Amino acid sequence: MLEWLSTGIDPTRPHELTAVVAWHARVMFFSWGVLVPIAILVARYFKILPNQNFPQELDSQAWWRFHWVGQTLAIVLTACAILMIRYWPAGYGESLYWHRTTGYVVMGLGAWQMVLGLFRGSKGGPTAPLPCGSLMGHHYAMSQRRLVFESLHKSLGYLTVLLAFATIVMGLWHVNAPKWMWLVIFPWWVVLAIVFVVFQKQGRCWDTYQTIWGPDPEHPGNQRSSAGWGMRRWGGSNSQTTQRK
Protein backbone atom coordinates (compact mmCIF):
# COMPACT_ATOMS: atom_id res chain seq x y z
CA MET A 1 0.00 0.00 0.00
CA LEU A 2 2.78 2.44 0.91
CA GLU A 3 4.55 1.69 -2.34
CA TRP A 4 1.33 2.30 -4.28
CA LEU A 5 0.73 5.61 -2.48
CA SER A 6 4.25 6.81 -3.22
CA THR A 7 4.04 6.18 -6.97
CA GLY A 8 2.95 8.87 -9.41
CA ILE A 9 -0.65 9.24 -10.47
CA ASP A 10 0.39 8.55 -14.08
CA PRO A 11 2.16 5.16 -14.22
CA THR A 12 3.70 6.01 -17.63
CA ARG A 13 5.82 8.84 -16.20
CA PRO A 14 8.37 9.00 -13.38
CA HIS A 15 7.90 11.19 -10.32
CA GLU A 16 11.17 13.04 -10.27
CA LEU A 17 11.70 16.63 -9.19
CA THR A 18 14.47 18.78 -7.81
CA ALA A 19 14.51 20.31 -4.34
CA VAL A 20 13.72 23.73 -5.84
CA VAL A 21 10.61 22.39 -7.60
CA ALA A 22 9.52 20.56 -4.45
CA TRP A 23 9.75 23.70 -2.33
CA HIS A 24 8.01 25.74 -5.01
CA ALA A 25 5.10 23.29 -4.90
CA ARG A 26 4.96 23.24 -1.09
CA VAL A 27 4.96 27.01 -0.77
CA MET A 28 2.36 27.46 -3.50
CA PHE A 29 0.03 24.84 -2.05
CA PHE A 30 0.31 26.29 1.45
CA SER A 31 -0.35 29.79 0.11
CA TRP A 32 -3.27 29.09 -2.24
CA GLY A 33 -4.52 25.70 -1.18
CA VAL A 34 -4.58 26.38 2.56
CA LEU A 35 -3.89 29.96 3.65
CA VAL A 36 -5.99 31.90 1.13
CA PRO A 37 -9.18 29.80 1.38
CA ILE A 38 -9.02 29.84 5.19
CA ALA A 39 -8.56 33.63 5.14
CA ILE A 40 -11.64 33.88 2.91
CA LEU A 41 -13.69 31.67 5.24
CA VAL A 42 -12.63 33.74 8.26
CA ALA A 43 -13.54 37.00 6.50
CA ARG A 44 -16.94 35.69 5.45
CA TYR A 45 -18.05 33.80 8.54
CA PHE A 46 -16.24 35.26 11.56
CA LYS A 47 -17.15 38.93 11.46
CA ILE A 48 -19.05 38.14 14.64
CA LEU A 49 -17.10 35.90 16.99
CA PRO A 50 -18.87 33.00 18.78
CA ASN A 51 -18.54 34.68 22.20
CA GLN A 52 -19.40 38.18 20.95
CA ASN A 53 -22.58 39.80 22.30
CA PHE A 54 -23.88 41.24 19.03
CA PRO A 55 -25.34 43.83 18.50
CA GLN A 56 -24.21 45.29 21.83
CA GLU A 57 -20.58 44.52 20.94
CA LEU A 58 -19.58 45.77 17.49
CA ASP A 59 -16.62 46.04 15.12
CA SER A 60 -14.55 43.00 16.03
CA GLN A 61 -11.52 43.34 13.80
CA ALA A 62 -10.10 39.86 14.38
CA TRP A 63 -11.45 38.68 11.02
CA TRP A 64 -9.98 41.70 9.23
CA ARG A 65 -6.53 41.23 10.72
CA PHE A 66 -6.49 37.52 9.91
CA HIS A 67 -7.76 38.11 6.38
CA TRP A 68 -5.33 40.94 5.64
CA VAL A 69 -2.28 39.24 7.16
CA GLY A 70 -3.14 35.89 5.59
CA GLN A 71 -3.63 37.28 2.10
CA THR A 72 -0.54 39.47 2.31
CA LEU A 73 1.57 36.54 3.48
CA ALA A 74 0.22 34.45 0.61
CA ILE A 75 1.28 37.09 -1.93
CA VAL A 76 4.75 37.38 -0.41
CA LEU A 77 5.19 33.59 -0.37
CA THR A 78 3.92 33.37 -3.95
CA ALA A 79 6.48 35.91 -5.11
CA CYS A 80 9.22 33.89 -3.38
CA ALA A 81 7.98 30.65 -4.95
CA ILE A 82 7.93 32.22 -8.42
CA LEU A 83 11.50 33.48 -7.96
CA MET A 84 12.57 30.00 -6.90
CA ILE A 85 11.21 28.45 -10.08
CA ARG A 86 11.79 31.29 -12.51
CA TYR A 87 14.80 29.81 -14.29
CA TRP A 88 13.82 26.15 -14.08
CA PRO A 89 14.00 24.52 -17.56
CA ALA A 90 10.61 24.07 -19.22
CA GLY A 91 10.10 20.45 -20.17
CA TYR A 92 6.81 18.54 -20.33
CA GLY A 93 5.59 20.86 -23.07
CA GLU A 94 2.16 22.38 -23.05
CA SER A 95 1.10 21.21 -19.59
CA LEU A 96 3.81 23.36 -18.02
CA TYR A 97 2.94 26.29 -20.28
CA TRP A 98 -0.61 26.42 -18.95
CA HIS A 99 0.52 25.92 -15.37
CA ARG A 100 2.90 28.83 -15.69
CA THR A 101 0.35 31.02 -17.44
CA THR A 102 -2.41 30.49 -14.91
CA GLY A 103 0.13 30.84 -12.10
CA TYR A 104 1.13 34.29 -13.30
CA VAL A 105 -2.53 35.22 -13.70
CA VAL A 106 -3.21 34.15 -10.10
CA MET A 107 -0.23 36.18 -8.90
CA GLY A 108 -1.42 39.17 -10.91
CA LEU A 109 -4.96 38.94 -9.55
CA GLY A 110 -3.67 38.57 -6.01
CA ALA A 111 -1.47 41.64 -6.40
CA TRP A 112 -4.38 43.52 -7.96
CA GLN A 113 -6.51 42.70 -4.92
CA MET A 114 -3.95 44.41 -2.72
CA VAL A 115 -3.80 47.45 -4.99
CA LEU A 116 -7.59 47.55 -5.14
CA GLY A 117 -7.68 47.70 -1.35
CA LEU A 118 -5.78 50.98 -1.47
CA PHE A 119 -8.70 52.53 -3.37
CA ARG A 120 -11.51 51.26 -1.16
CA GLY A 121 -12.02 54.76 0.24
CA SER A 122 -12.30 56.15 3.75
CA LYS A 123 -14.11 54.36 6.56
CA GLY A 124 -15.98 57.17 8.30
CA GLY A 125 -18.69 56.60 10.85
CA PRO A 126 -18.84 57.53 14.55
CA THR A 127 -15.60 55.71 15.37
CA ALA A 128 -13.55 57.01 12.40
CA PRO A 129 -14.73 60.48 11.37
CA LEU A 130 -12.96 62.27 8.55
CA PRO A 131 -10.41 65.02 9.36
CA CYS A 132 -13.09 67.60 8.57
CA GLY A 133 -15.34 66.05 11.21
CA SER A 134 -17.81 64.48 8.78
CA LEU A 135 -18.98 60.92 9.43
CA MET A 136 -19.68 60.27 5.76
CA GLY A 137 -16.67 58.21 4.80
CA HIS A 138 -16.99 55.99 1.75
CA HIS A 139 -17.74 52.89 3.79
CA TYR A 140 -20.11 54.45 6.31
CA ALA A 141 -22.08 56.19 3.54
CA MET A 142 -21.79 53.11 1.27
CA SER A 143 -20.82 55.37 -1.61
CA GLN A 144 -20.71 54.19 -5.22
CA ARG A 145 -16.94 53.91 -4.90
CA ARG A 146 -17.31 51.58 -1.94
CA LEU A 147 -19.96 49.48 -3.66
CA VAL A 148 -17.77 49.04 -6.73
CA PHE A 149 -14.81 48.09 -4.52
CA GLU A 150 -16.77 45.46 -2.60
CA SER A 151 -18.23 43.97 -5.77
CA LEU A 152 -14.84 43.71 -7.48
CA HIS A 153 -12.95 42.58 -4.38
CA LYS A 154 -15.33 39.75 -3.54
CA SER A 155 -15.94 38.47 -7.08
CA LEU A 156 -12.26 38.62 -8.04
CA GLY A 157 -11.31 36.97 -4.77
CA TYR A 158 -13.48 33.90 -5.39
CA LEU A 159 -12.37 33.76 -9.03
CA THR A 160 -8.71 33.92 -8.04
CA VAL A 161 -8.88 31.11 -5.50
CA LEU A 162 -10.73 28.84 -7.96
CA LEU A 163 -8.11 29.56 -10.62
CA ALA A 164 -5.42 28.85 -8.03
CA PHE A 165 -6.97 25.44 -7.35
CA ALA A 166 -6.86 24.66 -11.07
CA THR A 167 -3.23 25.80 -11.24
CA ILE A 168 -2.33 23.53 -8.33
CA VAL A 169 -3.95 20.55 -10.06
CA MET A 170 -1.99 21.27 -13.24
CA GLY A 171 1.19 21.49 -11.20
CA LEU A 172 0.49 18.18 -9.50
CA TRP A 173 -0.12 16.53 -12.84
CA HIS A 174 2.97 18.13 -14.35
CA VAL A 175 5.32 16.66 -11.73
CA ASN A 176 3.32 13.41 -11.64
CA ALA A 177 2.65 13.85 -7.94
CA PRO A 178 2.34 10.65 -5.91
CA LYS A 179 -1.11 9.32 -5.17
CA TRP A 180 -0.97 10.20 -1.50
CA MET A 181 -0.83 13.90 -2.38
CA TRP A 182 -4.00 13.66 -4.44
CA LEU A 183 -5.68 11.72 -1.62
CA VAL A 184 -4.79 14.48 0.85
CA ILE A 185 -5.34 17.61 -1.22
CA PHE A 186 -8.73 16.85 -2.75
CA PRO A 187 -10.38 15.72 0.54
CA TRP A 188 -8.99 18.89 2.14
CA TRP A 189 -10.71 21.01 -0.49
CA VAL A 190 -13.90 18.99 -0.03
CA VAL A 191 -13.73 19.78 3.71
CA LEU A 192 -13.36 23.49 2.90
CA ALA A 193 -16.38 23.32 0.61
CA ILE A 194 -18.44 21.53 3.27
CA VAL A 195 -17.45 24.12 5.89
CA PHE A 196 -18.47 26.88 3.47
CA VAL A 197 -21.91 25.34 2.92
CA VAL A 198 -22.51 24.51 6.60
CA PHE A 199 -21.51 27.96 7.85
CA GLN A 200 -23.68 29.57 5.18
CA LYS A 201 -26.69 27.50 6.21
CA GLN A 202 -26.03 28.33 9.87
CA GLY A 203 -26.34 32.03 9.04
CA ARG A 204 -22.80 33.00 9.99
CA CYS A 205 -22.35 35.30 7.01
CA TRP A 206 -23.27 38.61 8.61
CA ASP A 207 -23.46 41.86 6.68
CA THR A 208 -20.12 43.62 7.18
CA TYR A 209 -21.72 47.03 7.58
CA GLN A 210 -23.92 45.94 10.49
CA THR A 211 -21.09 44.13 12.24
CA ILE A 212 -19.18 47.42 12.30
CA TRP A 213 -21.90 49.99 13.07
CA GLY A 214 -24.87 47.92 14.18
CA PRO A 215 -28.40 47.50 12.81
CA ASP A 216 -29.79 50.93 13.71
CA PRO A 217 -31.66 52.28 10.63
CA GLU A 218 -30.17 55.73 11.21
CA HIS A 219 -26.93 54.47 9.71
CA PRO A 220 -27.04 55.17 5.95
CA GLY A 221 -25.75 51.74 4.93
CA ASN A 222 -28.69 50.07 6.66
CA GLN A 223 -31.09 51.88 4.36
CA ARG A 224 -29.96 49.85 1.36
CA SER A 225 -29.47 46.17 0.61
CA SER A 226 -26.32 44.27 1.57
CA ALA A 227 -23.28 44.55 -0.67
CA GLY A 228 -22.98 40.84 -1.43
CA TRP A 229 -24.92 37.61 -1.69
CA GLY A 230 -26.21 35.48 1.17
CA MET A 231 -25.61 38.17 3.78
CA ARG A 232 -27.46 37.95 7.08
CA ARG A 233 -28.89 41.18 8.47
CA TRP A 234 -30.44 42.12 11.77
CA GLY A 235 -33.93 43.36 11.14
CA GLY A 236 -37.31 44.05 12.70
CA SER A 237 -38.36 45.25 16.13
CA ASN A 238 -38.39 41.69 17.45
CA SER A 239 -34.67 41.28 16.65
CA GLN A 240 -35.31 38.65 14.01
CA THR A 241 -32.68 38.16 11.32
CA THR A 242 -33.17 38.13 7.62
CA GLN A 243 -31.03 36.71 4.88
CA ARG A 244 -30.67 38.25 1.47
CA LYS A 245 -30.72 35.53 -1.19
Q: What is the CATH number of the domain that holds 83?
A: 1.20.120
Q: At what angle do helices 36-45 and 62-85 cross, to 10 degrees?
A: 160
Residue 230 falls inside a structural domain: no
Peptide bond into 55 cis (omega under 30): yes
Residue 14 falls inside a structural domain: yes
d(CA 40, CA 63): 9
pLDDT tens column, 19-53: 898 999 999 999 999 999 999 999 999 999 999 99
pLDDT tens column, 118-176: 999 999 999 899 999 999 999 999 999 999 999 999 999 999 999 999 999 999 999 99
d(CA 186, CA 134): 50
Whole domain around residue 177: which residue ranges? 2-207
Residue 203 falls inside a structural domain: yes
The pair phi, psi for residue 206, each rounded to 5°, is: -85, 145
Residue 245 falls inside a structural domain: no
Residue 220 falls inside a structural domain: no
Residue 63 falls inside a structural domain: yes
Residue 34 falls inside a structural domain: yes
Task: Give me the number of domains the chain comprises.
Answer: 1
Q: The pTM is what?
A: 0.89
Residue 181 falls inside a structural domain: yes
